[in-house]
């Protein structure tokens, strides 16, 4: 059982959710386009990677991961519990990787219109 793959599988949907929530906050910024373009690319890449990881976990590693509650998961019948702080750290680390770490991708500005006040 590869703990890092399991952690990534658990943290990735959380990171996508946080980025979606952040995107709503950025939309009120005057120069929101700068942030929204990057977030769009990051979320798209994360979703693509998550579905590839999910496929790999099922077919290659034969892992079945189910969420019982916010901090408890079952992996192939074995219960794994996380502390909320552990989940936050895992999620933040994954988000950093996708924003400016080894999984960051290039993006192009979509020339969104600035918000007028």
**Residue 113: pLDDT band with limits 50, 70, 90:** low
Name 72's bridge partners.
69, 81
Query: Is the confidence at residue 114, as pLDDT, over 80?
Result: no
Residue 86's pLDDT band, with cuts at 50, 70 and 90, is: very high
Please say whether the beta carbons of 75 and 6 come within 8 A.
Answer: yes
pLDDT bracket for residue 108 (50, 70, 90): confident
Residue 5, pLDDT score: 93
Q: Would you state the pLDDT for residue 30?
A: 80
Residue 57's pLDDT is 92
């Amino acid at each position: 059982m590869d703990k890092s793959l399991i952690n990534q599988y658990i943290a990735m949907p959380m990171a996508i959710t946080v980025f979606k929530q952040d995107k709503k906050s950025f939309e009120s910024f005057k120069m929101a386009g700068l942030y929204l373009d990057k977030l769009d690319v990051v979320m798209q890449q994360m979703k693509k990677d998550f579905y590839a990881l999910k496929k790999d976990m099922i077919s290659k590693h034969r892992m079945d991961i189910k969420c019982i509650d916010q901090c408890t998961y079952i992996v192939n019948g074995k219960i794994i519990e996380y502390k909320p702080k552990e989940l936050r750290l895992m999620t933040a680390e994954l988000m950093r990787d996708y924003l400016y770490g080894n999984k960051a991708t290039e993006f192009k500005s979509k020339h969104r219109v600035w918000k007028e006040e």
